[in-house]
Amino acid sequence: MSLLERMSDLLRWQKKDPSMVLPWKQDSLPIFSDLSPLYHTRKRPEPLTAQEERDLELANKRFLELCEKCVQSNIPLLVDAEFTSVQPAIDYFTYAAAIVHNKGENPIVFNTMQTYLKDAKDRLLLASKAADKMGIPMGFKLVRGAYMSSERKLAADLGFASPIHNTIKDTHKCFNDCSNFMLEKIANGPGGVVLATHNIESGKLAAAKAHELGMGK
C-alpha cells in the first residue's frame, strides 16, 4: 500500500507540474480530470528510491503475468477501486496493462470507476477517448463507491471540498450517465462494461437502454 501511495503522490504532482519526469512511468491512459482531487499531495514528493523502483518493477511483472494468464484463459480481470489516496497508481497500473493485453473486440483488463466521485464521468470519458485513439478496447466496471465517510473526512481535515457528489441524486445520475455512455459505446464497437449495482432503478434503466440498442443478453 505504501508504494501505491508514493506512486500516487508522484502522479498527482506530475498532473500539477507536467515538467516532472517519472523515469519508471510507462504508456498509460489519462488518470486525472480537471475535477480530480489533488489535495493529498501538498508538497513535491521525493523520487522513488532504488528499492521502491525494484519493488515497482516486481509488482508490474507479477501483474502482467496475471493478465497474461487471464488472456490465455479468456477470463476478464476486473481491477477493483480503492481510496482516492491510492487510486491514481491503481489506474496507472490497470491502463498500462490494458494497453499491452486488451486486443481484438473484447477487453480482458477492466478498470473500476466509482461514480460517487465528482470526477468519475470525466475520467471515464478521457480514458475511453484515449483508448479509442490508441486502438485499445477498454473495459470498465461501474460502481457507486464504498468509502464515503473516510473520503469526506479526509477532505474536510485538509480543508478541501469533498470529492464525493453532494447528493445521492447526483451519484445516481453519474452512474446512469456512465452506464448509458458505455452501453452505447459497446453497442457500436469494441469494449466491455460491468454494471455492478444493487440499485433497482439503475438496473431497469440499463436494461431498457440495452433493449433500445438491440443488445443481447
- Predicted confidence (pLDDT) per residue in 166-200, tens digit: 999 999 999 999 999 999 999 989 999 999 999 99
Rg (CA), the chain: 17
- Residue 22 in any domain: the answer is no
What is the reported pLDDT for 217? 58
Report the candidate in 154, 155, 158, 169 with the shortest Cα–Cα distance to residue 202: 169
DSSP H or E segment with residue 142? strand 139-143
> What is the Cα–Cα distance from 151 to 145, expressed in whole angstroms?
10
Specify if 6 maps to a domain. Answer: yes
| Closest to 180 measured CA to CA, from 144, 145, 209, 200 | 209
Residue for grid cell 489516496: 85
In angstroms, what CA-CA distances link 157 with 39, 82, 141, 154, 195?
A: 11, 19, 30, 5, 33
Overall average pLDDT of the 37-46 stretch:
96
The CATH number for 104's domain is: 3.20.20.220
The one-letter amino acid at 15? K
Domains contained in the chain, number: 1
Percent of all residues in the chain with a pLDDT value above 90, rounded to a whole number: 95
CA distances from 93 to 32, 118, 127 (A): 14, 22, 13
In a domain, 169, yes or no: yes
Q: Residue 107, Cα to own-chain centre: how many angstroms?
A: 15
Structural domain includes residue 23: no
Which residue segment(s) compose the domain that 136 sits in?
A: 2-17+35-212
For residue 216, pLDDT beyond 90? no
Tell me the pLDDT tens digit for each residue of 70-100: 999 999 999 999 999 999 999 999 999 999 9
Give a yes or no: residue 146 inside a domain: yes
- Amino acid residing at 170: D
Predicted confidence at residue 121, as pLDDT, reads 98
24-37 per-position pLDDT tens digit: 999 999 999 999 99
Exposed/middle/buried for residue 181 (C-beta within 10 Å: 0-12, 13-18, 19+): middle
At 89-134, the pLDDT tens digits run: 999 999 999 999 999 888 999 999 999 999 999 999 999 999 999 9
The pLDDT assigned to 105 comes to 84
Q: Is residue 7 part of a domain?
A: yes
pLDDT recorded at residue 215: 86
